[in-house]
A and B are shown apart, each in its own frame.
Chain A
Amino acid sequence: MELAIPVEQWSGAVGTVTLGATAEQGGTRRRTLTLGGESTLPFLRLEGAIPNPPALAMEVLDASPEKWPEPLRAPFGNVLDDPAAWAVKCVEEFGADAIVLRLVSADPQGQDASPEQCAETVRRVLQAVSVPLIIWGCGDNDKDNLVMPACSQAAAGERCLLGTAVQENYKTITACALADGHLVISEAPLDISIQKQVNILLTEQGLPLDRIVMYQVTGALGYGVEYAYSILERTRLAALTGDKMLSMPMLSVVGSEAWKAKESWLDEPKWGALERRGILWEAATAALFLHAGSHLLVMWHPEALRLVRAMLTALQPA
């Protein structure tokens, strides 16, 4: 019997989204980052192009992460209380493709930093690094609605990715993105329908498809990752079968989820060496998201990022 290579004829493709704007494009980035564009399943070159490999971003918090375990703090030395320096280290030393600036300081339950303070941090980080910036609110809708406009303005023209728009709170952030030339993260709570609903709401506000990145609340290896895994797979299949409203690139938050898992920090000798466990857990979680079709991973540990980068290389055809 002759083997006929079973090739699928996909009618659609993942859309592309470009983060960051260079000087000619009205920003100050020296590098931009294009996500998506595949007309095939993850890493399967058999039946379509993969113009842009998945990208790895690193997350920077604007307030020193007090609770981080030692294996996670170690590689960063003394930059953890300076977001700009932290970002520089991520880009120059660890090779991050983009920086996620998470404005935890804005949390009204915590430091309750003012919108102006946050905007200042955004400015500093933008000056310090030349890669695209992802600005992520503190998760408190009311506060984010105050903070995001200030940060968006501070970064006007830089084509940052702003996060996140959720079903109950999408208008302010979309308006910011439209006014200042940014992109928006469309967030859904592990549900493909809600993801599509948020996407529709955003587009009905006038935001074009190529300015949306999708994000399903993630979960880590061993902690519900399979739900996100299947939703991402289904989303990719939807894009390939022509569903425009689910065709945007997808982002997954890996670092913070993986390090929440007991396996990353609990002193349990049966599970092996604690100093490597968190790194491996993060890398393993990342691997699953990549196979499910994620386009942009938000990482914490530089070693995990290095491992995943190596895997991405191994997934390139010889």
Chain B
Amino acid sequence: MSRVRVRFEPEGETTEGEAGALLLDLAAKAGLPVRSDCGGRGICRSCHVEVRSGRIRRLDQDGAEETVAAACEVLACQTAALTDLVVYVPPEVRLCPTGEEVAGYLGPGAAALLRPPARGFPLGQRLALRLPPPSFDDPTPDWERLARALREYLGEDRPLVCDLGLLRRLPDGLRVHDFALSATVVDEGDRHRVIDVGRVGGRAALGLAVDIGTTTVRVELVNLGTGQVLGGAAEFNAQTRYGEDVISRIIWSQEHAGGAEDLRRAVVGTINNLVERLLRQAEARRQQVVAVSVAGNATMICLLLRLPADTIRRAPHVPPVGQPPYLSAASLGLLAHPEAAVFCLPAINGYVGGDITGGILASDLAQRDELSLFIDVGTNGEVVLGNREWMICCSCSAGPAFEGMGIEAGLPARPGAIESLVYDRSSDTVQVRTVAGEPPVGLCGNGLVTALASLLEAQVIDRVGQLMSDYPSPRMRQVEGEWQFVLLWAEETGLGRDLVLRQSEIDNLIRAKAAVYAAVSTLLEVLGLTGEQIERLYLAGAFGSHLDVAAAMKIGLLPDLRPERVTVAGNTALMGAYLALLSSTARRQLREIAQATTYLDLSSVPRFMEEFVAALMLPHTELERFPSVVARGSSGVVS
């Protein structure tokens, strides 16, 4: 295979590679990585460059080959070099040189990136600059000189600020590097702040995408230049020791001396632990972390910021702030560059927080014409319905049953958690699939969903979830006055005891699924819409990316839609935080989403209670709402 040489303008950097290599890769190799927001899929057009001469192959045009005569714009990720080339890289496409590989985001739990990051500036970035040295003709002072260059790059007229320390370091910094240097700039919303200057080609600027869940905190370490996720980690939220749910924590923060500080310290501790671990793995330094974006419900954000959260709890449930101003990492005690910018995803109100606006952003619901439904099942269930014209959301207390809480056999998804369970009536046997193939120790959300669907199908439970006490199997038994069904005998588990589902636990699950479904049907109802009008369903939250959609419809957790309309989206809150980290456009869209989304208080809608009761059947009292479930011939359905 022949070699080709590619020269990148305006720098004139030249690199060599195999004929047929992508321009995207060649640019990175030349130390001039270009943006590739969609991970090189030819979707986002963020990698557009101009080929000025040479012969190329266009992958996005069925591999058509062409010899470039006049300058021609192409996508770097979709264009291969066949001969030597001259390529111009426009400034907006350029990433600061980091020497790291360009990669798309395929973070933990994200089965598919739902939307590529929009264009715009990362929350923090390291920009390579070459400043003209001062002269008698151009005696601009150092700071203004730097600012002029930055503004040109940033192309905005927001003010640029810095603190005294930087000013003190600047003169030396400029001259040591011969006026070719990198500047670290963070976006503070109404202005940019320069927080560091250093040599070109130094360590990359990193950011943290943080999802503070009531139960679990997740952090990803992200290369701000490339968008590459360097690592991700999760841990239980240490606040749990002060209360399982948000309300208990709010009460703790109010009623105990120093309670608010306890909670703040707990969550900051959790985040910092994770950050430390990630930095170690990536062999990166704290100073490199210059931007942090945080998604969490309104209470989690309040507690992180140590704001009084009591008003969230009391009607009309108003949080102290929807979108906090940009803060510094030091003011929050986060392990990062002290001046790193912290962006909190905006909340819609006290019940629907930045985790959900992040989800709306990540699912692209707000940009689409078709009517979409977004469901996030966590400790609470949040539901958003809408399209580019309007959005409405609500929150229902589904309870954490699907996170495995309140169910003895329940577990969060971790190795050994049963992801899928099928009971066979004729052989009286159970088949399971566990996370990582480990011996089963409990059921995660999807395990519970499939178990319920399977028990219904086998008529172990009736349509309202009551265990059939006369079911002919030793698995059906009564312990301490309560009926239970043995899913796995002790020896089949990694626990050494029987894994059972009790009547009260089944009731719990049914209530949880009914609350979610009723929230959906109530939203539709108040707007005068019907379920058939939903063209797309995004499912986020507790189920990760492993929900068995058919089983979820069989028990009536999800409305009956054609499976191809359902996207199991994983942790969209984290994805939203990631997008906010990388793009100012995303941050603006988040604000717009928070402002434009209408909140419906379900407790003010009498209809909700009725919808809830009607949803307490499997799949539903109105069987006609589940035509495909009925058509699939679920047992015993009467016509």
Contact = CB atoms under 8 A, between A and B. Distances in A.
B636 A204 contact: yes
B636 A191 contact: no
B464 A201 contact: yes
A21 to B, nearest CB: 25
A167 interface: yes
Interface stretch (B175-183, B219-227, B300-308, B613-621): B613-621
Summarize B's interface: helix, strand, loop or mixed: loop
Contact of A197 (B463, B470, B636): B463
Contacts of A168: 466
B472 to A, nearest CB: 14
Interface residues of B, number: 15
Contacts of B463: 197, 200-201, 204
A200 to B, nearest CB: 6
Contacts of B638: 200, 203-204, 245
A307 interface: no
Nearest to B462: A201
A301 interface: no
Contact of B614 (A167, A193, A203): A193
A280 B495 CA distance: 67
From A167, A200, A201, A203, residue with most partner B Cβ within 10 Å:
A200
Contacts of B610: 191-193
Contacts of A201: 462-464
Contacts of A194: 613
Contacts, number: 36
Interface in B465-522: 466, 470
Interface string A186-209: 000001111011001101100000
Nearest to A246: B621
A200 B617 contact: yes
Contacts of B616: 193, 197
A4 to B, nearest CB: 28
Summarize A's interface: helix, strand, loop or mixed: helix
Contacts of A171: 470
Interface string A151-175: 0000000000000000110010000
A192 to B, nearest CB: 8
A168 B464 CA distance: 9
A192 B611 CA distance: 11
A171 B613 CA distance: 21
A193 B613 contact: yes
B19 to A, nearest CB: 69
Interface in B19-44: none
B383 to A, nearest CB: 20
A144 B622 CA distance: 30
A171 B470 CA distance: 10
A208 B462 CA distance: 18
A268 to B, nearest CB: 34
Contacts of A245: 638
Contact of A200 (B466, B613, B621): B621
Nearest to B638: A203
A165 to B, nearest CB: 13
Given A203-B638, A204-B636, A204-B638, A197 B617 contact: yes
B466 A197 contact: no
A86 B622 CA distance: 43
Contacts of B623: 200
A193 B611 CA distance: 9
B74 to A, nearest CB: 60
10 contacts: A192-B610, A193-B617, A193-B621, A196-B614, A197-B617, A200-B621, A200-B638, A201-B462, A203-B638, A204-B462
4 closest cross-chain pairs (CB), A and B: A193-B614, A193-B613, A193-B621, A204-B636
